[in-house]
Amino acid sequence: MEVKTSLLDNMIGVGDMVLLEPLNEDSFIENLRNRFDHNEIYTYIGSVVISMNPYRSLPIYTPQKVEEYRNRNFYELSPHIYALADEAYRSLRDQDKDQCILITGESGAGKTEASKLVMSYVAAVCGKGQEVNKVKEQLLQSNPVLEAFGNAKTMRNDNSSRFGKYMDIEFDFKGDPLGGVISNYLLEKSRVCKQPRGERNFHIFYQLLSGASDDTLMKLKLDRDFSKYNYLSLDSANVNGLDDAASFRTVRNAMQIVGFMEAEVQSVLELVAAVLKLGNIEFKPESRINGFDESRVKDKNGETIVGLDNQQLYCGTEFPVTVHMDTHLTFLSNFCAYYARDALAKNLYSRLFSWLVTRINESIKAQAKTRHKVMGVLDIYGFEIFEDNSFEQFIINYCNEKLQQIFIELTLREEQEEYIREDIEWTNIEYFNNAVICDLIENNQNGILAMLDEECLRPGTVTDDTFLDKLNTICAEHQHFESRLSKNSKFLTDHSLPHSCFRIQHYAGKVLYRVEGFVDKNNDLLYRDLSQAMYKATHSLMRQLFPEGNPAKVNLKRPPTAGFQFKASVGVLMKNLQTKNPNYIRCIKPNDKKVAHIFTDSLVCHQVRYLGLMENVRVRRAGYAFRQPYESCLERYKMLCKKTWPQWRGPTRDGVEVLLTDCSVPSEEFAYGRSKIFIRNPRTLFTLEERRRACLEDLATLIQKIYRGWKSRTHFLLLKKSQVVVAAWYRRYAVSLLLMQSFIRGWKVCPCPHTSIEYMPVSLQMQKYFLGLKTTTMSPMDNTWPTQPYGFLEGAHTELRRIFHLWRCKKYRGQFTEEKKSVYEEKLEASEIFKDKKALYPSSVSQPFKGDYLEIQKNPKYQKLNGAVEEKVLLADLVNKINRANGKGSPRLFLLTKSNFVLADQKTGQVKASVPLPDLASVSVSTQSDGFFALKLKEGSASASKGDFLLSSEHLIEIITKLHRIGTTAADRDQINIDISDE
C-alpha cells in the first residue's frame, strides 16, 4: 500500500487545534502566530478550516496544488482550503449529499477571496466539455460583476463586500455544474450618498469614470474628474493596488460572458450615471407668506438625468395633498428635499443591484429539469462592532447570531451522529446557547424587530426616542439588554451608555447601538410622486425598477419594512442551510493595517472569542480528540509492531488492536468504533508520533545501508561488464584488421586490373544493396524497390519488401487522429455500400463527411431545437420531404442521433416527426445519380402510423452510411437494410 503523507508530518505548531496541548486561549493564539510566521495560513479544528489573511500572494493555489489535493482524504495533507473544498465536492458527487460552505469572519478577513478559491477549485476538478466549461466560466465571471456593484473600499478592507451573498451551485449526477442561483442580502445602500472618512463609494462609480472610453462618457454626459460629483469622496478616491480602469474592462468582459446584451450593459451604465447626477442636484430654501419653508432646485438646467425630463425630476420638490376633495400642491422643505433626493438615489442603486442579481440568475440557472445536487457557498458580512453602530450593524449582527446558532447546532449534531454511527458512548456537552439572544431580536411579540415595526406602523408622532422608550419598557429585565433605564444598567451615570443608545450582550461581546436613524432606515420609504416620476421615464430599465409608480396599479398598502424583509430572508437562508451538510471556513485578519507579516495578538484574540473557536475545540474534544479510519491508522503506525510490519495479513481492525496492545497504550485512552479508532488524549497520539519518528530514523539508516551496498555492488558489476565489452571490441578490431590485410594481399597478387562491379567482392555488393534501401520513399503508393544483386537473395529481397511496405503503412496510419480515422472508416463503409452500385457515389468520394451542416450547436436560431434533442446530434442537414399526395417537396431539418431521426420545420424549428431507429426497417435508394431515399418503417411499430418517408438530400451518401453504421454497432437493434435498386 502507498504510504501517504499526513498533517502530522513536518508539522509547524499543531495543524489541528483539537490536538493542541495544553488547550487554553494563550496556546491557541500562540499556535496561530507560529503557523502564520511560517506562511501556514490554514489550521483545522476537526473539519473546520481557520483561514488567516496573509495580505499578500502565496504560491499555494497553483494547478499543481489542485492536483495534489484532488481526491485525497481530508487529513492526508497539511491544512488547506482545497482539502475542505475537495471533501465537500466528493461528498456531493459520490454520496449524493447536498453541501453548503459557510464562510464567516470580519471585514477584511478574506471571506470573498475564500469563496473565490472554493469556486475555482470545484471548477478545476469537475468535468470538462464545451457546455460544462461555459457554465463554469459564467459562474466564475459573476463574481467580478457583483464585486464592482456591491463592494467598496473601507477602512478595514480595500475590497469589502457591502452585501451578503449566497450561491447555490447545481450539479448533475456526474458532478458537472449545470448552473447556479445567487441570493443577495442587505446591500449597504446608505453608502451611495455618504461614506465615512477614508472610505469610498461602490467600485463601479470609480471604474466607470476611470475606464470608460471618451465616447461612452460623452454619451453618458459624465466627466472623469471625481471632484465634480458630490456622492464620491475625494480623500480616498485612488487606492494603491486598485486599477479602476483595468477593473472596468474586466467587468465589461465578465458581463458579456455571463450573458448581458450590449443594450443591457448600456442601460446599466446609464443608471449608474443617473445616480451620480442625482447627487449634484442642489436646492435653495424659500420662505412663503404662510410661514412654511419651501425648497426650489438651484439650477434647473444643471443636470439632465437619462430617461427623465427636468420637469418630471424637479416635481420631486412638490407633492399633492388632497383634503375634502380639494387637491393642493405642497412643497418640501429644504431638508426634506435633500432627504428625498438621497432616498431616490439609494433606492435607484439598490433596485439596480437587485435587478443585476436577477439578470445574472437568468443566465446561470440550470436548464435541465432533473433533480440537481446542490453546493451552497455563503459569503456574508462578519460580526461588526464599530465606534458608531446603527441599524445596519444591528441586523448584520442579528444574522451572525443566527449563523452562530446553526453552527453550534450542526457541529453538535455532527459530533453526536458520528458517535452514534461508530457505536461510541456519547457524552453530553455544556455550551452557550445563543437562542435567547436570537429570541430577544426576532420574537414576533416582544422582539426588538417586532417593536421597531410596530413603531413604524403606529399612528401619531414616531421618533427614535419613542422606539427606545418602548425597548426600555418591554426589554428592561432581559439579561442580554442594557440601556440607561433598564434593570441591567449598573450605573445611571455610566458615560459609556448614552441616553440615546442601547446595548446587547451578543455571543461575540457587548455592542452599543445608537437608535438615531433606526425608524427611518427600517421604513425605507420613497415618496410616491418620485416613484411615479421614475415610472414615467422613457428609460425602459428605470421604468422596470419602479413598478409601483404605475398610476393604474396604485397600491395604498404599506410596503414591508427593511427589518421584516431581512428577517424573512434570513429565515429562508437558515432553512436552506439546515437541509445541507455544512462545511465551515472561519476567516481571521491578523492586523488592522492590511499589511503582511504583522500579527496583532489582541485583535486575533478578539476574533477567536466572537467566532467561538475555543468553544468549537472543546465541543470536538468533549469525547475523543482524534479519530482515524483503521486503514490509515494501521498504515501510519504499523512499523511500531513486529507483527504488523511490514505487512499485516488480516482485518485492519484486528491489526490496530494488535498494534495498540504491543505499544502498551492504556485501554481507557482509546475506543474502537465500527470503522475508526478513537483516541481520547492528544498526548497519546503525540507519543505514538514520537515513537514512529524514531522508528523511521532506524528504518532510514537500514535503507541507507542497503542502498550503499547495492550501489557499490552495482558499480563493481558495471566495471566488470565494461571490461568485457572493451576486450570484445578490441578482439573484433584485431580480426577486422587481419581480414583487411588478407584482402590487400590478394588484390596485389591478382593479375586482372578490372575494377567493375562484377569483380567487386560479394560483401561490398551486398553492403551497397542494403545501403540503397534507405532511399526508398515512405509513401505506401510507391512500388519502387532496389533490384537484387544476386539470385540467392531472392527470398530475403521479397520478404524485406513485404515487411517494409507493412511498416510504412503502419507509420502512415499512425498519423491519423481518432476523428480522422472515424471519417476514413465511414468513407470505407460508404465504398462497401455504394461502389459500382450508385451512380452518385464517385462524385461523393472527394467530399468530406461533415456531419453538422447546420451548425446547430452555434446557431441561436436552432437553440430551441437543440434543447429538444437530448442526445448528441450525429448529423444535421436540410432535406426535402416529398409529399406522397402531390409530389411536392417541403424543406425539413433532418437530425440523426444514435437512437432517433428527427424531422423539424426549417423556419420555426418545431419537431414534426421523431422516429426511434428500432422502428426503421430499411432504407431504399436508386442506382441513379439522384439524391432520393425512402425510409421504410416496420409494420406494427409505434411509428408505423406516420407512414414511410420519401426524402431528398445532397448528402445522401453520408446519411445512408451513418444510418448503416448506427444499426451495425448497436447491440440491441436489428441491422438496417440498405436496398439499392431501380424498383
The residues that are catalytic are 107-108, 112, 157, 160-161, 382, 384
Residue 642's φ and ψ, nearest 5 degrees, are -65, -30
Look up residue 85 and give its three cell numbers.
473544498
Q: How far apart are CA 413 and CA 421, in angstroms?
A: 12
Spell out the alpha helix ranges (H) of 181-229.
203-211, 214-220
Q: How far is CA 138 from each of CA 123, 134, 629, rounded to the nearest angstrom? A: 11, 6, 39
Whether 341 contacts 152, CB under 8 Å: no
CA atoms within 13 A on the CB side of 452: 28
Q: How far apart are CA 608 and CA 586, in angstroms?
A: 9
Q: How far apart are CA 786 and CA 806, in angstroms?
A: 17
How many residues can be counted in the chain?
Answer: 983
Strand partners, 204: none
Distance in Å from the first CA to the final CA of the chain: 70
Instruction: State the SS3 of 521-578.
Output: HHHCCCCHHHHHHHHCCCCHHHHHHCHHHCHHHCCCCCCCCHHHHHHHHHHHHHHHHH
Q: How far apart are CA 841 and CA 930, in angstroms?
A: 10
Binding residues are 105-112
Q: Is 530 exposed, middle or buried (0-12, 13-18, 19+ CB in 10 A)?
A: buried
Q: Is 651 exposed, middle or buried (0-12, 13-18, 19+ CB in 10 A)?
A: exposed
Binding residues for ATP are 105-112
CA atoms within 13 A on the CB side of 569: 20
Whether 155 contacts 166, CB under 8 Å: no
Residue with cell 469589502: 160
Q: Which residues have CB under 8 Å from 257's CB, separation 6+?
A: 137, 138, 141
The radius of gyration of the chain from alpha carbons, rounded to an integer in Å, stands at 40
Query: How many of the other CB atoms lie within 10 Å of CB of 501?
Result: 18
Query: How many of the other CB atoms lie within 10 Å of CB of 772?
Result: 13
Q: Which residues have CB under 8 Å from 726's CB, separation 6+?
A: none
